[in-house]
Every structure is written in structure tokens, then in C-alpha cells.
A and B are shown apart, each in its own frame.
Chain A
């Protein structure tokens, strides 16, 4: 009896295994061209939107996530000779110059590009089209400050004020992309000469550095579900949109004077054998349809003009008006040196 049962378990297991190995082949409809889109881990797009694109264009989109923006860029650089896809989305302004100088992308001017994306153009040869903007800003837990009757900080300089001692948590720029953006924000604000000084003042004021956004935001920060001990954290301009109380009122806010702009780009990969279809995918990423879901689904701002943000965002997470940014070449040439200095100072 038991043996029969055991045998049937074994059989069931073998069958499950069998069907996945066989089913991996994908039933590819005859004649439908398949375009492979290589993207970063943050990619979350509703299936309906992808299906609609497939219906309309007759192109089947195969999506491959390849790590964060930095990892994605490096993988594209390494596979330049024989690209792992036809089109890539997610290389950001911090890493774009590495990809461009390695010749990863080929020129493509999307007919949609002049509806707003051109404002963030980075390359005279039009190899990259700006798809979204995701600013990194210091976030604060407004309730925490209200309860203690303490004035909220507003600028980077405020964070070194002894009033805000032991309240800030940041991410390690070597291991975290918002951490790196915040480091760049301080370089942009205080210049090559002054930024390290600023960090020693932060250090004296009890800044805490953790390795990633998840630990910083969900564990150390008091304004998130984790109810951590620190009310000031480096996160995104859009984060407050996710932290609203039962009345729909935001309970955290981004300090708009501390923001650093990161633009995420898409481009046709050099060496693809179907550049036309790859171009259509770039058009799709810039289309009204796609642009209108990026805020809700990926917590970034659309680059296209006239795309409405979700209603909660107007109050909780407006797009910063005057964020800092550094030219790509300067980031490219300084990044490693800055990170090394930062490590020496903060890691000790």
C-alpha cells in the first residue's frame, strides 16, 4: 500500500519535471518576430500592456531582467560582440557614458522622442532615449518630527546640524544605487574639494550606513512598515506615495532640495539582426500607454509630457523641480575614486 503511494509520488514528481523541461521550448507562433528586451530588476509591467503591444505591433516581446542598472550596463558591455538581446532599457545616467563609450547602442531616433523625452537627451548621436526619471532624495518621517515638535530638516546642510544627530540612515554607495546617487548629490553640492568634509561632518553627526535600500528603508527608517528607529533616510522622490495613512494623507515626504536626478534610458543594441523591430519597442516604451504606467508600477516619473501622474502623487510625490546632477563623463571619471574615499572615511 505504502509502496504504491510512494511510487505514485515519484511518478507525479517525474511528470512535473518532464513537462517543464518540455514546456520550456515556448510555442512560438509561426512568423511572429520575437524581440528580446534586456532590462533591470525593477521592471514590472502589467501583462495587459504587453499583450496590447503584441496585438498592435505583431511583435512578441521577450523580457530578460539582468540585475540593477550597473550590472545591466556591464553585461551589455561584456556581450557587445554578440548582444544578449535586441533592445535594452534601464541603463541610467550614472552608467550611460560607460555604455556609450563602449559602443553598446546604435543610433535610433524615435518619432515619440520629441514629446518630452528629448529634454533628457544625453547623446548627440541619439543612441539613447530617456524613458523615465527617478530622483533620489532624502525622505523624512513627518509624523516623527511633528510628535517631537522638532523642525523638519530641509537641505543637505541641515543634516549636519546637531539637532538631527543620529537620525540619518544612508546606503553604501559601493553596493547600492540610491546610495551612489546620494554620494553624487553631495559631490554636486559641495564640489570635488568639499564633499569629503561634508561627509566627515555627517559622520560626526552620527550617520548610519547600511548596504542596501531594503535595510535602510524597511528596517532602519521610522516612516515605513518596519517602524525603525531613524526618521531620515535616503530613498526616492516617489517613496512617499506608498506611505499614506488611512485617510490617504502622506506620512513621509521627500526633501526636494536634496534630490539627485537619475534618468533611465532605452536604446537599440548594436549588432541586433532586427533593428526595425527593436526601434518599435523603443517607441512603445516612450508611448502614452507605457508612460502612463511607469509611475504606478515602477515608482518613477514619465519623461513624456502630458502624462498624468496617479492622483496621490500630486501631493505626496511631486517631481522635484531643480534636482542636482553631474555630467556623465564626470561621474565616469570620478566614481571609483569617490567611492574609495567614502569607504575609507565611513567604513574606517
Chain B
């Protein structure tokens, strides 16, 4: 009894950090701005307009379609990364992450260039383009550590390759798959830049409409009503995801060593081919961007790249392209460290709550799990304006401080880290832990000796992913970064919003630089990951 009491106290102590972070930097600001909307009245009018529900329907439909496309495209890539040994796969591992850092304005322009009047089709495709990485990395992470012998046993008992996948592998992957799908859905439902640019004057979503009402019209009550609808849609999606996860959750046979990858055999080549087809599609806009950075009306040229060492035509930037890259790397490091601390603590709490006996803690865990995801489902402009009307109550008036940049970026990364770490952490076999406890290990030691070695690879993968997202983050950074210290995405946005050949040349070169920085960082972290697996061998 005393033991249980201490356990709960321990969980509560760990839970304080993520909860406090979430309350101060998310719940309170959002409540603040919604409260202003409510107090000005007229919410009901917007809520019952037919236009509101058309917007909601279109938002959900395009997000669902993009999620389907991203899952369908991401699964073969996840397989490729987790199970196949082919030369050059390290490059692929890095490549899939590149779309994630590209500024939406640039990807929007790239898709417009490929399909000038594509409408909904290009919106879905572009949203999926950004999110294939979420599926590939989240599912691939679990897949790599799934014991292959279960599948092999099914095969030797006569199951076809497809049947073995469907009855053995797929159920084991479902938690990760549901996690990834939920994240992708949230990203697509709240995607802003892509919808704005590709939707032209024709297609609007809840997100773009909330932005318009808040930023242009100062119609806070209308924006609050739409935010409520958005919140309802997001909560419904999260609930569906949680349901799918709960049905499937069991301890899996995980291995600290990744299951040895091998060369694909016969039928597996089809999956590999599908994965490469997806990669080729992902490359199309990227190659387009690089080609654009090299071409001028007078033929090929490196002018854009040379311009990176300057500040743009007519002083478009206050720093050089290289300095902006350094700013990006620094801001993203801060955000990743912060998000890893908060995210991993949150995941540990969620797992402990789930393992607790009794219904109460489990329900609490589910609620906290969903709450952690909400930052992805609430409009960035709502959070941003919320900061303005609430954070001045804190000491030091953080409202416009550049110190807020890592906090705002971390808010976006934390849900991703939780989603990537949680499935792996949850599937650690409870019996290993019990054995360790029986042998006299305290909770910290159990975590260090059992959970950590089994999940370290996922932790590193999550950090890499979080880092990449922080590198590409634009919305929060553009308000909070000082004008004399812009990050690359912010610099790119100011370059494309000015006339002049050299500026747009330089903007595309800066995109290429951003992709290169991403590739280098991811490659470094991957190195760390493989070094870790060596350590495990001792």
C-alpha cells in the first residue's frame, strides 16, 4: 500500500513539468483569446451559419483524404526503412524528412508551378507530401524493433506473405499507425500556408477562415466560434485514434537490437518498388525547387547561391543567408532539448498511468494523452493572439520576447515526440520490469536498465524528427524572432515577398540550403543512432 502511494506521488511529481508547460503556453492563452470572443457576443450566429458547416466539412474531408494518401504512401517507405537492406538507404532515411522543413509558401509555389489550377487535388497532394515522413518514421521506428520471428513462424506455418503481414505484423503496428494517422490528420486539418496558396480565392478551411477573422477583420467572436468547431473536429479525430489504439495494445516482442534487415525476396520487391515510386514523387517538387534555384532567364547560374553570403538585393535581409542558417540551427537545438525533456516526461507519465491498477488513473491517462495532442489541432493564430492577451501577466512580459521562440516551437514538437516515443515505451514487456523489480531495482533503475535501452533508438529518432520540425517552423518564429536574427524559413518568406530576380533566386537557394542543413543534421543524428546500437552490443 505504502509502495503504491509513493508510486503515485512520483508520477505526479514527474507530471508537473509537462502539465505546467501545457497550461501556461497553451491552455491559458487559448482560453484567454476565446474568452475575449465569447464576451463580445454573437458566437451563436456564426455557429449556426451554413457556411461554417460547409467549411468544417471541407476541412475534415481534405484532411482525411490527405491522411489516407500519406498513410498509403508512407507504409511502403516505413517497410523499406525498417526491414530492407539495400545500399543507399541511409540517404532515403534522410530524404523523407526533407519535405517537412520546407516552408509552406515555397512548397505551395512549387505545387502551383506543377499544377497551376489543381484546386483540391493539389491541396490534398501537398498536405500528404509534407506528412509522408510522419508515417514513415513513426511506423518505421516500431517496425524496426518488432521481432521478425512471429512473422517467420506464420510463414513457415504456410501463411502467404500478405496473410502474415495482415494477421501478424499489421496488428502489431496498429498503435504506431493510429498515432501517425492522428498526427497527420491534425497537421492537415490545421494546415494554413498550403491551403491559402493552392486554394486561391476558391477553397477555404476553418484554419484559413479563423486566420482571416482574427488577423484582418478582428472578428474575435466569429473566430472563437470557428475555433470551437475546429476543436470539436479535432477531439473527435483524437477519440477515434485513441479507440483504434486501445483495441490493439499489447506488449510486443521488442528487441533492443533492431531486427536484422535483409535483402528483399521475390514478392517483397513489389513493396520496395512502391516505396521507391513514393520517393520519386517526393523528389519531384524538391528537384523543381533546386532547378529553380539554378535557373535564370539567361540560363543556368549559381547567382542565388553566391547571393547567400550577402543580404539580398536592396537589403532584403538584415543578415546573410549563412547567418540565417546558423540562427535556424540554434533555435531548433533549444526547442528540441526543451521538447525532449517535456515530451519524454509526459510519455513516462502516460505509461505509468496506464499501468496503474484501477480505472481512475487510466481515464486520467487517456485524457492527458488527448490534451497533449491538442496544440496540433488548434490554429497557430489563436495561440499567437492568445499569447498577446495573456502572457503579460507573467513576470518579464514574454509576449514579444525572442525567448518565446523555443517555447512556441516546442509546443508543436512535443505532441510528435510523445506520439513517437509512447508506442515503443508502451510495448516494453511488463514482465521484464517486474523481474527487475523483484530483483530489487528501484523505479529509476528499472527505467534505466529496461526501458531506456529498449527505447533509446526511438528517442533519438524522435529527437531528430522534432529537430527537423523546429527547423522548418515558420508561424510562431516569424513573429517572435528578432528582425536582426531571422531563421532560414523567415528569411525565405521575406525574400519571396519582394520583387527582383536576385531575391527570388536567393530564396530558392536558401531553400536548398535549408534542405542541406536538414540533411546534415539528420545524418549526424542517424550516426548517433547507429553508434547507440553498437553500445548495446557490449
Residues of A within 8 A of B (CB): 2-3, 5-6, 9-10, 13-14, 16-17, 19-21, 24, 36, 38, 41-47, 62-68, 70-71, 74-75, 77-79, 82, 84-85, 98, 172, 174-175, 209-215, 217-219, 224-227, 235, 239, 242-243, 296-297, 299, 336, 343, 346-348
Asked whether, in the complex, the Cβ of B532 is within 8 Å of the Cβ of A6, the reply is yes
Per the bound structure, the CA–CA distance linking A336 and B215 in Å amounts to: 13
Give the docked Cα–Cα distance between A197 and B530 (Å): 67
Q: Are A47 and B399 touching (Cβ within 8 A)? A: no
Q: How far is the CB of A224 from chain B (nearest CB, A)?
A: 7
Q: Write out the residue numbers on chain A whose beta carbons fall within 8 Å of the beta carbon of B406.
A: 20-21
Tell whether, in the assembled complex, residue A297 and residue B314 are in contact, meaning their CB atoms are under 8 Å apart.
yes
Bitwise, B164-194 to A at CB < 8 A (1) or not (0) is 0000000000000000000000000000000
Task: State whether A2 touches B388 (Cβ < 8 A).
Answer: no
Known: A211-B196, A211-B201. A44 touches B315 (CB 8 A): yes
Least Cβ–Cβ distance between A311 and chain B, in angstroms: 14
CB–CB B297/A348 < 8 A:
no
- Whether A336 lies near B217 (C-beta < 8 A) is yes
Q: 16 interchain pairs (CB within 8 A)? A: A6-B527, A6-B531, A20-B331, A44-B483, A44-B494, A65-B478, A67-B479, A71-B216, A74-B215, A79-B388, A79-B399, A209-B200, A225-B504, A227-B297, A235-B499, A243-B501
Is A98's CB under 8 angstroms from B109's CB? no
**B112 A75 Cβ-Cβ under 8 A:** no
A212, B329: Cβ atoms closer than 8 Å: no
Q: Are B479 and A66 neighbours in the complex by a CB distance under 8 Å?
A: yes
Determine the chain A residues whose CB is within 8 A of the CB of B333 once the complex forms.
Answer: 13, 16-17, 20
5 additional A-B residue pairs with CB within 8 Å, beyond A65-B483, A224-B504: A3-B534, A38-B400, A41-B494, A44-B314, A211-B200
The residues of A that contact B385 with a CB separation of less than 8 Å are: 75, 78
B318 lies within 8 A of A225 (CB): no
- Tell me the number of A-to-B contacts counted with CB atoms below 8 Å: 174
Instruction: Judge whether B400 and A348 touch: CB under 8 Å.
Output: no
Q: How far is the CA of A299 from the CA of B334 in the complex (A)?
A: 35
Q: Which of B140-177 contact A (CB under 8 A)?
A: none
* In the assembled complex, B218 has its CB within 8 A of some CB on chain A: yes
Nearest chain-B residue to A235 (Cβ)?
B499
Say if the beta carbon of B496 comes within 8 Å of chain A. Answer: yes
Inter-chain contact B388/A75, CB cutoff 8 Å: yes
Does A299 contact B499, Cβ atoms closer than 8 Å?
A: yes
Chain A residue nearest in CB terms to B311: A46
Which residues in B have their C-beta under 8 angstroms from that of A64?
Answer: 400, 479, 482-483
Interface digits, B95-124 against A, CB 8 Å rule (1 contact, 0 not)? 000000000010011001100000000000
Query: Which residues of the partner chain A approach B499 to less than 8 Å between Cβ atoms?
Result: 217-218, 224, 235, 239, 242-243, 299
> Is B47 part of the contact surface with A, judged by Cβ < 8 Å?
no
- Are A85 and B400 in contact, CB atoms less than 8 angstroms apart? yes
Contact A17 B196 (CB under 8 A): no
* Residue contact A70 to B215, C-beta cutoff 8 Å: yes
* Bound CA–CA A297/B403 (angstroms): 28
Q: Judge whether B484 and A47 touch: CB under 8 Å.
A: yes
Expressed in whole angstroms, the Cα–Cα distance for A227 and B532 within the complex equals 50
B262 at the interface (CB under 8 A from A): no
Minimum distance in angstroms from B192 CB to a CB of chain A: 11
Interface centre among A62, A210, A336 (most CB of B within 10 A): A210
Residues in B whose Cβ lies below 8 Å from that of A17: 330, 333-334, 336-337
On chain B, the residues within 8 Å of A42 by CB distance are: 497
* Contact in complex: A225, B297 (CB < 8 Å): yes
Cα A210 to Cα B109 in complex, Å, equals: 12
Distance of A85 Cα from B399 Cα, bound (Å): 10
Given contacts A65-B479, A211-B196, A239-B499, contact A2 B534 (CB under 8 A): yes
Asked whether B8 is an interface residue with its Cβ less than 8 Å from the other chain, the reply is no
Please give, as numbers and ranges, the residues of chain B lying within 8 Å of A347 by CB-CB distance: 201-202
Q: Is the CB of B534 within 8 A of A215?
A: no
B317 on the A face (CB < 8 A): yes
Q: In the bound complex, how far is the Cα of B42 from the Cα of A196, in angstroms?
A: 28
Candidate in A46, A212, A235 with the most chain B CB atoms within 10 angstroms: A212
| Complex CA distance for A309 and B407, rounded to whole angstroms | 43
- Residues of chain A contacted by B227 (CB below 8 angstroms): none
Residue ID in chain B nearest A25 by CB atoms? B403
Q: Is B379 an interface residue (CB 8 A)?
A: no
Q: How far is the CA of A74 from the CA of B401 in the complex (A)?
A: 19
Are A175's CB and B388's CB within 8 A? no
Closest CB pairs A-B (n = 4): A6-B531, A242-B499, A209-B201, A17-B333
What chain A residues lie within 8 Å of B500 (beta carbons)? 225, 242-243
Residue in contact with A46 in the complex, picked from B315, B400, B530, CB distance below 8 Å: B315
How long is the Cα–Cα vector from A63 to B249 in the complex, in angstroms? Answer: 51
Q: Mark B499-516, 1 if CB is under 8 A from A, else 0.
A: 111001100000000000
Cα–Cα distance between A74 and B330 once the two chains are bound (Å): 31
Given A79-B399, A84-B400, A225-B505: A214 in contact with B218 (beta carbons within 8 A): no
In the assembly, what is the distance between CA of A174 and CA of B313, in Å?
29
**Contact partner, A214, options B109, B208, B296, B392, Cβ 8 Å:** B109
Residues of A contacting B498 in the complex (Cβ-Cβ under 8 angstroms): 242, 299
Contacts of B214 in A (CB 8 A): 74
Q: Are A219 and B528 in contact (CB under 8 A)?
A: no
Contacts of B112 in A (CB 8 A): 215, 219
A84 vs B527: C-alpha distance when bound (angstroms): 44
Check B530 against A2 for contact (C-beta < 8 Å).
Answer: yes
Pick from B109, B196, B218: contact of A77, CB under 8 Å: B218
Q: How far is the CB of A134 from chain B (nearest CB, A)?
A: 13
Shortest A198–chain B CB gap in Å is 17
A residues less than 8 Å from B525 (CB atoms): 9
Residue in chain B with minimal CB distance to A46: B315
